[in-house]
Structure 1
Amino acid sequence: MEPHTSTTPFGRRSLTLAHVANQAIAKTRLPEKVVHKWKVFRAICTAKARIGVSERALAVLDALLSFHPETALTGDALIVFPSNQQLSLRAHGMAPATLRRHLASLVDAGLIVRRDSPNGKRYARKDREGEVEIAFGFDLSPLVVRSEEFEALAEEVSAEARALKLVRERITLCRRDIAKMIATGIEESVPTRQAGQGLANWDEVHTLYRGIVERIPRTAMRDELAPIADELSMLADEVLTLLETHIKSENLSGNESQTERHIQNSNPDSLIELERGFPKKQGATVEANPEPRRMPEGSYPLGMILDACPDIVDYAKGGISNWRDFMATTAVVRPMLGVSPSAWEQAQAAMGEVQAAIAVAAILQKGTAINSAGGYLRELTRKAEAAEFSIGPMLMALIGARKRDKKTA
């Protein structure tokens, strides 16, 4: 007599049409088909979001696969029948209720098929030769049948992850380039208008740049980030064109003035001073490479400040490695934020030069959370004058916000 293959679950568990469909798929398995069980498991792990299973459920599937004695899944002996106690031990001590819930999710996702015995126990009955005649437990046949599907899903997820990484890298590079080119344009007084066209000044360029950056969501898919990357790339090209055009015009005017000087200096009667001397005290030496400014007294470590306010680094020409670089970069950022000279002087008087610069870096980091950077700095100045403000809590809040963003990303 041929043994009857169980179709319905034991006890109060209900049978759904999805379960019937999964069982029908399992029946299409070719006996000669061979699948590497850990290879298909890795594909399922990669595509878990597409398949609809959690990491804890995958831990249970990992434990189930460990009860299959062979690495290859093939033939008819694809039913594993561990007890809940054994399965819980291999699933890192998972609680029985949690184990049952994740087993049900694996069944619902079509990764395994439940083959329950008449009394709900899992076991195998052997014939006289010692071969397994019938087994009751969990059928791994769907893994063999759907192996190509899982591998295709894993490849799609991997390709999407690669594309997302590339677009994020593109955004990062564009942000760095634009910020540093804007800083160079301001320091070198490069005009932003050409033939009466273009933005009025570098503040407007910076406002346009920040408007694009602030639209970047904390967690986003490639389709959302790609248009932003395109906008940043276009803006980077435009800013670079401004700088290159200015360099060409400077070179042209420099060549013309050099020609004029050559004509003027061709007079043999003129006195040419080849080298000018500057009076200096005897024994005085010129310091070619002054040492970097040390950490100001009463301030916080520079590494902590950059951890709390990483956006300030985008505006540094060669990075920020000491306090001199930090102060120079905040001097570039301050007018971009719209902080007036009077507000800056009051902040320096109330907080000190370094603390005021740290406050500017923190205001830049807060971005759209602050409507008016100048007004916000004046409010901090008022609190500092009343001994009601300290820069430390602001830095710790920014560091905590970045850590939370990393966890949710």
Structure 2
Amino acid sequence: MESEYVTTPFGRRSMSLAMLLKQRRGEAIEAGTTRNKWKLFRSVCEARAGLDVTDRALTVLDALLTFYPEDDLSSEKPLVVFPSNAQLLLRARGMAAATLRRHLAVLVEAGLISRKDSPNGKRYVRRGREGGIDEAYGFNLAPLLARATEIEAIAARIAANRQMLRAMKERLTICRRDIAKLISAAIEEAVPGDWERASSMFHALLQRIPRAATLENLAPILEELETIRLGVINTLETQEKIRIASTNESQNERHIQNSSPESTSESEPGLETGQEAGRHHEPREELDSHEPGMAGNGGEGSGAMAPRNAGRLNSFPLGTVLQSCPDIVDYGPGGAIASWRDLMMAAAVVRSMLGVSPSAYEQAASVMGLENAATVMACILQRGGCINSAGGYLRDLTRRTERGEFALGPMLMALLRVKSLADSRAGT
């Protein structure tokens, strides 16, 4: 529906081009458009911030809607209401006349209603012989119906943003609580780490949280808080894995490569096993206090005990492991590895970095032994570019070890050859 003429204001109120455009746009309603007036009013209340109207102006709009006789606003019916000043003041909750006029002007300026002034400025209706309305002068609700789709979209967007902001505030509250309690626990239990610096960064970030929070100013702060929380959790998990590895080492001393009580922890068998050992070094027999039959002759004892040795790997000198896998050194305590314990600590860090699950690494340590599992992690790190899934590869090596089909010697020798070839090429 579109008006056939322009309504100019009565009295001293001036006409402007903006008023003309709003009037024409507000009266351009698509045919068949209908809305329940109270549902549309709730949408206006929801979209109040986007429409730039006050709560008192909404009280006046509510009063105007009560004068429309039907529940549905329709483009096929007249949309002009014409209450007297006295009745409008009563339904506007006893609002003062000057205040009422001011908020009516706000509704007109916001494009939610328009004025249709009579020749003398009064609000009245002229009816035909059959009692129908021929002409009405007052406040036109057509702009409200014309903008119904726009108002509903604004209301939906504001409601969605409010829900997102509520969820973001909840996440921020939980994140603040997690960081505060985790740092406190780390300090109380003397977990190694720069907790004073982490606490200082945390409290500095909290000072940036604005009083009037919005999606735009809260999102970057929440992202930084979650980064701090992730860093704290990773540090605590790494320390816990190191502690578990150290505990397992003390509880499983039988896996240490040299079973002689008087020998040092660095005294280990040679690199090659089986026929490879015969080609490069004099055979050395693997002594194990739990396998007494293995102290016999090198060739016969080894062959006789092969089924019972399934799942057991020979250990190798730490120097050989580091020579074959130099990349692991960077992950040791202080960027150095001086003992098997340092290697196991570095392996725990690498395990987490490569995405190997704790269960996969614990199973490998149970089957291979702590030192050998750490050695295998060093090899996987060294060959990182050739392995798609470090966790899957480790599980496969564990299964092969259980079947007696895997030995560390060939893997270390292959890495040594690759390193030697690379060094020779660099020298040329």
TM over 0.5: yes
The AA in structure 1 aligned to 2:184 is A
Deviates more, 1:6-15 or 1:239-248: 6-15
Q: What letter matches 1:239 in structure 2?
A: V
- Partner in structure 2 of residue 52 of structure 1: 52
Match of 2:7 in 1: 7
Contact 2:26 2:111 in 1 (8 A): no
| Per-residue deviation, residues 322-356 of structure 1 (Å, max 9, x unmatched) | xxxxxxxxxxxxxxxxxxxxxxxxxxxxxxxxxxx
Alignment of 1:223-234 (within 5 A): 223-234=216-227
Give the AA of the match of 2:149: E
1:31 offset after TM fit, Å? 4.6
Matched-pair contact (CA < 8 Å) for 2:37–2:71: yes
Shift, 1:34, TM fit: 1.2
* Match of residue 121 from structure 2: 120
Q: Counterpart in 2 of 1:170? A: 171
Residue 135 of structure 1 aligns to a residue in which SS? strand
CA deviation after TM superposition for structure 1 residue 27, in Å: 3.0
192, 199, 202: which one aligns with 1:206: 199
Query: TM-score if structure 1 supplies the norm length?
Result: 0.59
Counterpart position of 1:67: 67
Deviation at 1:220, TM superposition (A): 2.5
2:182 maps to 1:181: yes
Corresponding residue for 1:76? 77
Residue 85 of structure 1: CA displacement?
Answer: 1.5
Name the Cα RMSD after superposition.
2.2
Larger C-alpha radius of gyration, 1 or 2? Answer: 2
Alignment identity in percent? Answer: 50
| TM-aligned CA deviation for residue 26 of structure 1 | 2.9
SS state of the match for residue 70, structure 1? coil
Q: Is the 1:46–1:157 Cα contact (8 Å) retained in structure 2?
A: yes
Runs of 4 or more off by more than 6 Å in structure 1? 261-264
Equivalent positions of 1:332-371 (< 5 A) are none
Deviations 1:20-42 (A, max 9, x none): 11211133223532111112111
* Pairwise CA distance, 1:81: 0.5
Look up the match of 1:254: 247
Q: Deviations over 1:67-92 (max 9, x none)?
A: 10101111232100011211111111
Match of 2:233 in 1: 240
What are the residue-to-residue correspondences of 1:375-394 with 2, within 5 Å?
A: none
Render the CA deviation track for 1:373-403: whole Å, top value 9, x for unaligned.
xxxxxxxxxxxxxxxxxxxxxxxxxxxxxxx
1: CA distance, partners of 2:173 / 2:219: 12
CA distance in 2, matches of 1:53, 1:36: 21
Distance 1:158 1:16 in 2: 34
Q: 1:31–1:76: 8 Å Cα contact kept in structure 2?
A: no
Amino acid at match of 2:44: I
Q: 1:119-171: per-residue Cα shift (whole Å, max 9, x none)?
A: 21111010111111100100001111111111111111112112212221221
| 1:5, distance to aligned residue in structure 2 (A) | 5.5
Aligned counterparts of 1:245 and 1:184: Cα–Cα separation in 2 = 15
For 2:70 and 2:77, how far apart are their aligned partners in 1? 13
Task: Judge conservation of contact 1:47–1:154 (CA < 8 Å) in 2.
Answer: yes
Letter in 2 for 1:177: D
Name the counterpart of 1:191.
192
Judging changes above 3 Å, is the alpha-carbon distance between structure 1 residues 4 and 206 closer, same or farther for their aligned structure 2 residues?
Answer: closer
Q: Distance in 1 between matches of 2:120 and 2:209?
A: 57
Tell me the equivalent position of 2:30.
Answer: 30
Q: Deviations over 1:169-204 (max 9, x none)?
A: 221111010000001100110111xxxxxxxx3111
Gaps of 5+ in 1: 193-200, 265-409
Amino acid at match of 1:119: N
249-258 vs 74-83, greater mean Cα deviation: 249-258
CA apart distance, 1:4: 8.6
Query: With CA pairs under 8 Å and 6+ residues apart, which has the higher RCO, 1 or 2?
Result: 1
Distance in 2, Cα, partners of 1:27 & 1:110: 11
Structure-to-structure mapping, 1:221-300, within 5 angstroms: 221-260=214-253
- Return the letter of the residue paired with 2:171: R
* Contact 1:19/1:110 (8 A) holds in 2: no
Equivalent pair of 1:115/1:138 in contact (CA under 8 Å): yes
Residues 299-314 of structure 1: matches in 2 within 5 Å?
A: none
Q: Residue 252 of structure 2 aligns to a residue in which SS?
A: helix
**SS in structure 2 of the partner of residue 133 of structure 1:** strand
- C-alpha separation between the residues in 2 aligned to 1:65 and 1:136? 15
**In the alignment, residue 211 of structure 1 is paired with which amino acid?**
A
| Counterpart position of 1:105 | 106
* Cα shift at 1:218: 0.8
Structure-2-length-normalised TM-score: 0.57
Contact kept? 1:18, 1:108, Cα under 8 Å: no
Letter in 1 for 2:238: T
1:220 aligns with 213
How many residue pairs match? The answer is 255
Superposed displacement of residue 6, structure 1: 6.2
8 Å CA contact 1:6–1:115 kept in 2: the answer is no
Contact 2:84 2:123 in 1 (8 A): yes
Q: Indicate if the aligned counterparts of 2:29 and 2:145 stay in contact, CA closer than 8 A.
A: yes
Structure 2's unaligned 5+ residue stretches are 262-428
Question: Deviations for 1:235-294, whole angstroms, at most 9, x for unmatched residues?
Answer: 000000111111111111122223359999xxxxxxxxxxxxxxxxxxxxxxxxxxxxxx
Give the whole-Å Cα distance in 2 for the aligned partners of 1:30 and 1:145. 8
